[in-house]
Structure 1
Amino acid sequence: MKLRRLTALLLIALLIAAGGCAGGGDGGDTAGRVRLLVFGAPEELDAYRTLVGAYTGAHPDRQVQLVEASDRKDLVARLATSIAGGEPPELFLMNYRFYGQFAVKDVLEPLDERIAASGTIDPADYYPVAMDAFTWRGRQLCLPQNVSSLAVYYNRTLFEKHGVPLPQPGWTWNDLLTTATALTRDAQGGVIRGTESEGAAQRPAVHGLGIEPSIIRLAPFVWSNGGDIVDDPARPTRLTLDHPAAREALKNLVDLRLAYGVVPTDEEVEAEDDESRFANGRLAMLLSSRRSTTTFRSITGFEWDVAPLPVYRRPIGILHSDAYCMTRGGENKEAAWKFLEYAVSAEGQRIIAATGRTVPSHIEVSNSPAFLGPAQPPRSARVFLDAIPAVRALPTISTWPEIEDVTSGILENALYRGDRLDDVIRQLDEQTRPLFARGEHPR
């Protein structure tokens, strides 16, 4: 009897020990440390510190360490290196355009079962376009914190000073061009028309518009003009910028610098990026997503607001959405899930929305004072919500980050150097086709 009892006690002890070891691997410890990898401007990082502080303040026994990358490329490199080394962070925050390179390697933890068991997360509470963007082959791999779109930030004080009409819903590309031309001014406040500024003794003191020469800035205008940027959004094999609607939108983008001189030169952008130029009052309008709001809320010298994108044939926008993703190899999955669940819950999204960083993916929170409250700019925050029904997502194939990097350099040369349009389109096609061929798809 004594031997049987001793054997039973030893078996129980072994089971308890095994359970304790498993807790580190499968996430049984809700009080363990969670590492969250993010990047952003200082104001954006402050927003995430606020969220983490609120969470750990409510749960003093839980630790969340914010791991801050310098930029998107640094984040991707750190994540890839840590996964390869067997010590990845439990969580990371990433745009839907970039997570496919990790989804295809099966290093992300599917969240479907945790969502189904959650008393906090109901998928019906979130904008479908954002949830769908993080669905890979039938599995929900990440949960979105935001559902932003591209908007036009504008210096309202500058518009009023020069008597230029404010942007209105339904304004066209030609309206944007006319407005940018009217606001491109010399140091004395005089209008500088066309590219005459190139030969002038003094460059414009204020440029009418700032726009990044990239595929993510071009895409919504191609769509609005009735075209597409790829041959098949679900399983793309090539860019289709050679089609008339896409070609027209690309030409109009390039002409902003070459024909009209309303955007800064590449040398000027190198010296002062568009976001800084806008904050310093030297840029009348800037196309950007919601993430610029945190930076611009520090502006004290003028009043600013946001307007919808100009329209070609129909209103359409481009999805900007980031989500929390959990790594398969993270040490403490249960603790990671508890923070993730909090971050995307109504409570967590109210906290981060109040900082200005996000357009909440949680439908109720997006329509609450946490986002729409008039206490801080932009006063026209509803512009972001009005755009949601018409936003489209870019392809999320595994090689999309490489496609963006390649197209960025070519489009920069087109805008700033004046490369021939036919050559630009040919280079874009030739250099991206192999990347499309190598990519894997989420469907």
Structure 2
Amino acid sequence: MLCGVLPAGAAAGCSRDGGDAEATGPVRLLVFGAPEELQAYRTLVGAYAEKHPGREIQLIEASDRKDLLARLSTSIAGGAAPELFLMNYRFYGQFAVKDAIDPLDERIAASTLVNPADYYPVAMDAFKWRGRQLCLPQNVSSLAVYYNRTLFEKHGVPLPKPGWTWNDLLTTATAMTRDAAGGVIRGTESEGAARRPAVHGLGIEPSIIRLAPFVWSNDGEIVDDPARPTRLTLDNPPAKEALKNLIDLRLAYGVVPTDEEVESEDDESRFANGRLAMLLSSRRSTTTFRSITGFEWDVAPLPVYRRPAGILHSDAYCMTRGGANKQAAWNFLEYAVSAEGQKIIAATGRTVPSHIAVSTSEAFLGPAQPPRSAKVFLDAIGSVRALPTVSTWPEIEDVTGGILENALYRGDRLDDVVRELDEQTRPLFARGEYPR
């Protein structure tokens, strides 16, 4: 049977109706996501329950990433950790350093369903900690540009295409920033009350994970040592140029919504409602956008400065050391990352499968549902890079996010932004621990 979805604090009181001796109770799986993403995981759990009656999976649904981290930390500290959790590689280091994750190497070696050679190395490597495979990745997404094809064709603006540049992105975003009558609004005209944009050309989160691929594309670096970073290096000319171009999107060109507009309607909702022409996001937005009925949308690769570069977005199933039903947890984990499990989750639109054969199959590339250009995600894999794995990275993201948000919406001086980013993050790097 499929155990009901319960909040994190609820007791694991699901009834059992049989199963092998290894599965002695419900396996708790902690996840977070938008409603459409959570439904994708319910679909996977349902398929597993149908195939293995009596093996119960209890989904614990966090409201967002911060909630997931807080719940996991609290449950581990209290001795009531869920057997499994799904987490991005950028955040698992804080649990790895506390030895709270059970390594999977021996289980993988004995498995008939999981062969490391079947998975994209960049995703597998992101979850290796001091020589051990701590978690198994379900996806290997990259950042892409979602765009409203119907709106582009309405205004006769050329569609985004492979090989386009940052200047092309800016020109396109300017051409797609329109008032209620369909007229183009340029730069500071958007500040006039009479000409507020009805559609903005671009949505981009002011964060280090959005900035990084453009710094790399411009032959710059965001840290001094990718393996053991001690500081951000956004003061180098290529990185500084990419940062300036990001900051200029709001006050210099007016192609992105204001902070007040984003607070009232986030970029993903704005795109789904037809009021945003382009959005930079990972594969996770696909599940939400497949509910769109009012227009056609698609994806394009990131624009290029000097060379193609992307940023890895990968989530993995991790097994806690304190979980009560480890073998039962492994049974589900093994199924979830196997070819069969990944085909199921790929069909929901949520993931770019980390399983190579599944990613190139109809389960992912099939034309039945958008995006029609799904291969964009696969084409990017060869140029994606992972951010540093450091135990304090969640704090680094939070601090840099606040500074970059102020820079984008307030127009802070570039040199002040660079200095503040460095000063505020150095102590966080200094007390961080690394996978090797």
Choose from 395, 398, 410 the match for 1:405. 398
- Specify the alignment match of 1:41 in structure 2: 34
- Specify the alignment match of 2:151 in structure 1: 158
Task: Give distance in 2, aligned partners of 1:102 and 1:353.
Answer: 28
Choose from 264, 279, 288 the match for 2:281. 288
Per-residue deviation, residues 286-311 of structure 1 (Å, max 9, x unmatched): 00000000000000000000000000
- Specify the alignment match of 1:93 in structure 2: 86
Per-residue deviation, residues 72-92 of structure 1 (Å, max 9, x unmatched): 000000000000010100000
Which amino acid counterpart does residue 85 of structure 1 have in structure 2?
G
Contact 2:399 2:424 in 1 (8 A): yes
Where in structure 1 are there 5+ consecutive unaligned residues? 1-26
Per-residue deviation, residues 104-133 of structure 1 (Å, max 9, x unmatched): 000100000000000110000000000000
Task: Give distance in 1, aligned partners of 2:314 and 2:256.
Answer: 27
Contact 2:86 2:318 in 1 (8 A): yes
1:29 positional shift: 2.1
Contact 2:189 2:195 in 1 (8 A): no
Contact 1:208 1:263 in 2 (8 A): yes
Contact 1:31 1:63 in 2 (8 A): no
Contact 1:318 1:391 in 2 (8 A): yes
Asked if 1:220 is matched to 2:208, the reply is no
- Specify the alignment match of 2:53 in structure 1: 60
Q: Secondary structure of 2:280's match?
A: strand
Task: Give distance in 1, aligned partners of 2:401 and 2:99.
Answer: 28
Asked if 1:81 is matched to 2:37, the reply is no
Task: Give distance in 1, aligned partners of 2:419 and 2:21.
Answer: 54
Which amino acid counterpart does residue 160 of structure 2 have in structure 1?
P
Which amino acid counterpart does residue 366 of structure 1 have in structure 2?
S
Q: Secondary structure of 1:149's match?
A: coil
1:33 positional shift: 1.2
1:200 positional shift: 3.6
Distance 1:66 1:196, change over 3 A: same
Choose from 188, 192, 195 the match for 2:181. 188
Per-residue deviation, residues 145-172 of structure 1 (Å, max 9, x unmatched): 0000000000000000000001110000
Contact 1:31 1:61 in 2 (8 A): no
Q: Which has the higher helix share?
A: 1
Asked if 1:72 is matched to 2:65, the reply is yes
Choose from 323, 328, 331 the match for 2:324. 331
- Specify the alignment match of 2:304 in structure 1: 311
- Specify the alignment match of 1:248 in structure 2: 241
- 1:92-111 aligned at under 5 Å gives the runs 92-111=85-104
1:195 positional shift: 1.6
- Specify the alignment match of 1:383 in structure 2: 376
Where in structure 2 are there 5+ consecutive unaligned residues? 1-19
Which amino acid counterpart does residue 256 of structure 1 have in structure 2?
L
- Specify the alignment match of 2:115 in structure 1: 122
Task: Give distance in 2, aligned partners of 1:32 and 1:382.
Answer: 40
Q: Secondary structure of 2:232's match?
A: coil
- Specify the alignment match of 1:168 in structure 2: 161
Contact 1:28 1:333 in 2 (8 A): no
- Specify the alignment match of 1:433 in structure 2: 426
Choose from 271, 277, 293 the match for 1:278. 271
Asked if 1:347 is matched to 2:340, the reply is yes
Choose from 313, 323, 338 the match for 1:320. 313
Larger radius of gyration: 1
Q: RMSD of aligned C-alpha atoms?
A: 0.9
Which amino acid counterpart does residue 256 of structure 2 have in structure 1?
V
- Specify the alignment match of 2:5 in structure 1: none
Task: Give distance in 1, aligned partners of 2:425 and 2:90.
Answer: 16
1:202 positional shift: 3.5
Task: Give distance in 2, aligned partners of 1:300 and 1:77.
Answer: 36
Q: Secondary structure of 2:318's match?
A: strand
Choose from 259, 264, 288 the match for 1:266. 259
Asked if 1:136 is matched to 2:136, the reply is no
1:28 positional shift: 7.0
Task: Give distance in 2, aligned partners of 1:437 and 1:146.
Answer: 30
The count of aligned residue pairs is: 417
- Specify the alignment match of 2:10 in structure 1: none
Contact 2:246 2:408 in 1 (8 A): yes
Q: Secondary structure of 2:195's match?
A: coil
1:203 positional shift: 1.1
Choose from 129, 140, 145 the match for 1:147. 140
Task: Give distance in 2, aligned partners of 1:91 and 1:127.
Answer: 22
Distance 1:292 1:308, change over 3 A: same
- Specify the alignment match of 1:19 in structure 2: none
Q: Secondary structure of 2:66's match?
A: helix
Per-residue deviation, residues 395-441 of structure 1 (Å, max 9, x unmatched): 01000000000000000000001111111001000000000000001
1:70 positional shift: 0.4
Task: Give distance in 1, aligned partners of 2:249 and 2:130.
Answer: 40
Q: Secondary structure of 1:78's match?
A: helix
Task: Give distance in 1, aligned partners of 2:80 and 2:250.
Answer: 46
Task: Give distance in 1, aligned partners of 2:242 and 2:74.
Answer: 39
Per-residue deviation, residues 243-280 of structure 1 (Å, max 9, x unmatched): 00000000000011011000000000000000000000
Which amino acid counterpart does residue 238 of structure 2 have in structure 1?
A
- Specify the alignment match of 1:7 in structure 2: none
Task: Give distance in 2, aligned partners of 1:201 and 1:188.
Answer: 12
Per-residue deviation, residues 306-332 of structure 1 (Å, max 9, x unmatched): 000000000010000000000000000
Q: Sequence identity of aligned pairs in percent?
A: 87
Instruction: Give TM-score scaled by structure 1 length.
Output: 0.93
- Specify the alignment match of 2:6 in structure 1: none
Choose from 213, 222, 232 the match for 1:229. 222
Task: Give distance in 1, aligned partners of 2:293 and 2:24.
Answer: 42
Which amino acid counterpart does residue 345 of structure 2 have in structure 1?
I
